[in-house]
Amino acid sequence: MSPLAHRTRIKICGLTREQDVDAAVEAGADAVGFVLYPKSPRFVEAARAAELARRLPPFVTPVLLFVNETPERVRDACGQVPAAMLQFHGDETPAHCAQASAGRPYLRAARIPLDPSASFDLLEFAADHSRATALLLDAHVEGYGGAGKTFPWSRLPPSASFHAVLSGGLTPANVGDGITQVRPRFRTLAVDVSSGVESDKGIKDAGKIHRFVAAVRAADALLARSPNVQLPPA
């Protein structure tokens, strides 16, 4: 298998400051996320997201995160950040995602229950949202967003054909384990981090961002040497 197949894409989410955008780019992030959900402590207005996105060099993708937003407001925000990918993180139906995205690529969050007795069929969810570029796998907690919680990775199906983005409680300390355990289950795997690289809500720590990226690259190197490696379930 080509070494490129083992390159995990990285998104740093919940950016609110210029220095945090610069730190993510310097560390080697592939995408940065801006939260356009007013109830989030990491909320930024679309105009602020546009201002921050203008700092990005070519091939680093801005991602606009919405929660149950109207298609009109989604399209207005997209007009201000023309190069953005979208992320729907609420209760949006497939039809709503299609209407709001208006042909733009988007991620759809799949909220994985923390309670082992709670039922959730990820494969059915993926079939319903087949137009999404990838499913973002996050912990299902009260409200929206993973709240820094890691869901049981063992609950994921053993094999799925879609692109996945692992999120929810990732840190420099556990992202390597997440990649080695989850990567073999999906077509490709990316990772998404927010609180795990913060010093406070909405305030990123450049050192943590660099350590997170280094941990991802170490896991990629491990998988390149031993593609079938899997650690015990979390």
CATH number at residue 176: 3.20.20.70
pLDDT value, residue 191: 98
- Whether the model clears a pTM of 0.85, i.e. scores above it, the answer is yes
Is 89 within a domain?
yes
What is the amino acid identity at position 173?
Answer: A
Nearest CA among 99, 154, 167 for reference residue 131: 99
pLDDT in tens, 43-83: 999 999 999 999 999 999 999 999 999 999 999 999 999 99
18-22, 73-77, 112-116: least confidently modelled range? 112-116
pLDDT in tens, 160-204: 999 999 999 999 999 999 999 999 999 999 999 999 999 998 999
| Cα 132 to Cα 68: distance, rounded to the nearest angstrom | 16
Band (229; pLDDT cuts 50, 70, 90): low
Q: Is 70 exceeded by the pLDDT of residue 4?
A: no
Nearest CA among 231, 193, 184 for reference residue 5: 184
Is 230 within a domain?
no
| Cα 224 to Cα 93: distance, rounded to the nearest angstrom | 37
Is 191 within a domain?
yes
Domain that holds residue 170: 3-225
Please give the positions annotated as active site: 13, 138
Is 232 within a domain?
no
pLDDT value, residue 131: 97
Is 233 within a domain?
no
Q: What total of structural domains would you count in the chain?
A: 1
Instruction: Using DSSP bridges, classify how beta strands 106-113 and 61-66 pair: parallel, antiparallel or unpaired.
Output: unpaired
Is 231 within a domain?
no
pLDDT value, residue 2: 43
Cβ neighbours for 177, distance < 8 A, ≥ 6 positions apart: 219, 231, 234
Token pair listed for 1 = 């298998």
